[in-house]
Structure 1
Amino acid sequence: MNRLPLRTRLALLACATVALITLGVCAAAYAVIRYELGHQLDLQLTQAATLATQQNRDEPPGVLAAECRYLAAPACAQLVPADAADDPPQPYLLPVTDTTREVAAGSHAPYYTNLTLQGHAVRMLTTPYTAGQDKALQVALRSDTTTKSLRQATVMLAVISTAGVALALAGGYWVARRGLAPVEHLTATAEQIAATHDARLRIDLPQGRRDEVTRLAASFNTMLGELENSVTARRRLVADASHELRTPLTALRTNAELLARADRLTPAQRDRASTALRRQIHEVTSLVNDLIELARDEEPQALVEDVPLTPLVTHAVEAARAHWPQVGFTLTVTPQAMTTTLPGVPSRLSRLLANLLGNAAKFSPPGANVEVALSTRDVTVRDHGPGIAPEDLPHVFDRFYRAEASRALPGSGLGLAMARQIAQAHGARLTAEAAPGGGALFRLAFPEEDTTSAGRL
């Protein structure tokens, strides 16, 4: 059974359920018809006995009517005394037993008997004739009409049951096929995606349906959308990474080939080539490390701890001052922020702040200040550089995106993408906007509740 297709199993289950119900109803109908036909015949016998008693008062024992061999004839009737010595000389038409004598004597209750008379099935009622006369009245009617009617009803119910089961099978198959159509589309789409590796395929959802199967298909479409986005992002990351790595790797190869012929170079040329080679190795190493961090896309749960926000920001600003001595950094901390702590990974949060401060310092002219402000759960970093063009603002946090004005500056375009990823992993929100009076303003807002962190932490 488990090897059959789901549609076939559902059709068989529906058919079996309807078949059981149909058979139960037909069995109950057969029992009711049989009871009613038998009860009707017993009522006729009772009426015939009453009529015979009224029409044959004070009659001696013997046969009163013997025409029950015909369907339209009155009931056969005879009187039987309690004592066999009082029997008439003529033989009885209906069988007489000891129980019949007991009914005549009043020591046995009336009863019904099924028997065959003159080749026909009859039903006989034996009942006391008249009180005090010690006689039993036996009346009989042909019962083959009842048997025939019951047989016809049985055939009709059997036909109805068979038709019901057949209709149940056809209806169950139709309902299963129609109800599982989205599942078949889902299976076909999944198989096609596995064969073609094309995550752009979708299942066509029927209009106006809100059942569980349709919801499953809609969820599958949503999953396919997420898969398509993931595949697209992966391909874009690989393409962008290969593009960004091509230039430094070419320069590395050139400088390495140049140093391989060091005997032909002057000491100054060798020093310049060695310096360039070291710088390019550092750039490639930083780029590869950034790519690894971005590809991880989550924070290790084991490293999460309660991080005091003020010391973290203070340390990041001091590190930025040492790394960018030509740029000034000012830090403003509100009193409420002095006791703020949040769950997170300290090293990752330090990397986030370092990327924001480094980006601000890179675009700040020499001697300008980068203003860092820390409130209760917000960190803002504002520079006084050229700012962010409106057309660049939606793409500031995209991987490898570099605005027209920043393409001559050092960097790979991964710093802000990594900062946003770390912020999202900590449940924070990182936004960028044009600062009033010029420059760029980055705002990092952490969750309000101390116990709230990102779902991936």
Structure 2
Amino acid sequence: MSGHRLGARWRRRRPLRTRLALAATAAVALVAVGVCAAAFLVVRGALYRQLDLSLTQSARLAAQHNPDSGPETLSGECRFLAAPACAEVVPADPARDPEKPYLLPVDPAARAVAAGTQAPYYTAIVHEGHPARMLTTDYAKGRALQVALRADTVEDGIARAAWWLALTAAAGVLLAGLLGYWVARTGLAPVTRLTATAERIAATRDPRHRIELPPPGPGKGAEDEITRLAGSFNTMLGELEQSVTAQRRLVADASHELRTPLTALRTNAELLARGDRLTPGQRERASLALGRQLREVTGLVNDLIELARDEEPQLLVEQVRLVPLVEYCAGAARGHWPGVAFRVRVEPEAGAAVVAGVPARLSRLLGNLLDNAAKFSPAGAEVEVALALRGDGGTELTVRDHGPGIADSDLPYVFDRFYRAGAARALPGSGLGLAMARQIARAHEAELTAEAAPGGGAVFRLTFGEAG
């Protein structure tokens, strides 16, 4: 158990590239060694089969030339394959052995072959200090024939084959190591770049870094998993960069926007602190200004908190009828802007329009649009609110004012946080109302756009999809 834990600890401490290289090397080396071992067995078997075939032919020739020989040595020249084989006849009964000793070793198995109780067999022997192979087969009734050939050439061939195959296996293992290293280096190159990029981001806290990906080209096929992982990491870095940039811009814009009201708050607070030097009218005006500025700062901070979340809170969604909601928001806007006329027009087909949403958030969206339209409307002008059904089954709400309109250069930025067109810089507001309206619209899967109205003014178009 301790050895297993040590091995697991060693594997965890090794880099992934090393472990992958070792795994690939081991796999290829195992295949190379297995193939060489199988080749050695095939070569060894082929050489021995050739020797056994020569022994069988020699035994057949000896039996043909000496069809009825008694126990004796038929041939004593035990050389190589091309030379005559050693041959002798062995009886089943040891009492019938000749006085002259046998040239080849005789064992009880040879007597059993002579007696017909055992099948012929091959034996590896040593003859006069040289390796040899002997065949013991049946010869005649009660006798067996033993034939032997020198096996030097076969043994040398097997030794040479073993040496060359061992050299081949060693070269295969070395090549497997090189290939394993190359595979690990090439296959994990995106992972290495990903790691280096992550380390640079952790060190510099700068998400602008990216992993270099191979350029897409014709005929390259589908990307592998590592490349897709690197691409996903780049996408994540892009999202992170956008989030960090938006956060920094929000902080910078908020600091800029809060500087003026906070300065005014401090001035009025310091003025009230010297209240004994002020007239009652001056103290009242300073108090009113201080209260108004506190409300503005409070509203600005609340808006900043909502926008900083960059998402809508998970509230209870219900089916909201748009006509009563629009009429309620228009009535509230009339109370806030008594000098502006708000006219609501609902097409008959849109009278029963319903959307899934949060009534309070939708009221905030419409209230921001109506406040924006009233802010830019001249005294006595009219803000037109229209509700209609679209041809695709969706619902469209438009808010039009008759103010100075939106310049083409300002259209791409009207929904940005703290953005104010040139005509709006002298007007009250924080520059967050339209940004918040678009955020609420996206949370309700609606689209909010702005455009210049024909004949002057601006039109804000809120489009809801088909009700589910």
Counterpart residue number, 2:233: 220
Find 1:281's aligned residue among 270, 276, 294. 294
Structure 1 segments unaligned to the other structure (5+ residues)? 451-457
* 1:54-453 → structure 2 map (5 Å cutoff): 54-69=64-79, 73-130=83-140, 133-208=141-216, 210-376=223-389, 377-450=395-468
Counterpart residue number, 2:3: none
Q: How many residues align?
A: 448
Q: How far apart, CA to CA, are the structure 2 residues paired with 1:205 and 1:29?
A: 44
Q: Secondary structure at the match of 2:345?
A: strand
Note the alpha carbon deviations across 1:9-61, whole angstroms, 9 max, x for none. 11001001111111211221122122112211111110110111122223332
Q: How far apart, CA to CA, are the structure 2 residues paired with 1:252 and 1:152?
A: 100
Q: How far apart, CA to CA, are the structure 2 residues paired with 1:426 and 1:306?
A: 12
Shift of 1:417: 0.7
Letter in 1 for 2:248: R
Find 2:31's aligned residue among 2, 5, 21. 21
Shift of 1:80: 2.0
Say if 1:302 and 1:419 are closer, same or farther in 2 by CA, change over 3 A: closer
Q: How far apart, CA to CA, are the structure 2 residues paired with 1:255 and 1:107?
A: 128
Asked if the contact 1:332/1:373 (under 8 Å) is kept, the reply is yes
Letter in 1 for 2:196: A
Structure 2 segments unaligned to the other structure (5+ residues)? 1-10, 390-394
Q: How far apart, CA to CA, are the structure 2 residues paired with 1:106 and 1:180?
A: 69
Asked if the contact 1:299/1:345 (under 8 Å) is kept, the reply is no
Q: Secondary structure at the match of 1:339?
A: coil
Asked if the contact 1:398/1:417 (under 8 Å) is kept, the reply is yes
* TM-score after normalising by structure 2: 0.91
Q: How far apart, CA to CA, are the structure 2 residues paired with 1:247 and 1:85?
A: 132
Shift of 1:388: 0.8
Shift of 1:300: 2.1
Asked if the contact 2:51/2:81 (under 8 Å) is kept, the reply is no
Shift of 1:302: 3.9
Q: How far apart, CA to CA, are the structure 2 residues paired with 1:99 and 1:260?
A: 128
Q: Secondary structure at the match of 1:385?
A: coil
* TM-score after normalising by structure 1: 0.94
Asked if the contact 2:139/2:145 (under 8 Å) is kept, the reply is yes
Counterpart residue number, 1:9: 19
Shift of 1:107: 2.9
Q: Report sequence identity in percent.
A: 68
What is the RMSD of the two structures over their aligned residues, measured on CA atoms?
1.8
Asked if the contact 2:373/2:400 (under 8 Å) is kept, the reply is yes
Q: Secondary structure at the match of 2:145?
A: strand
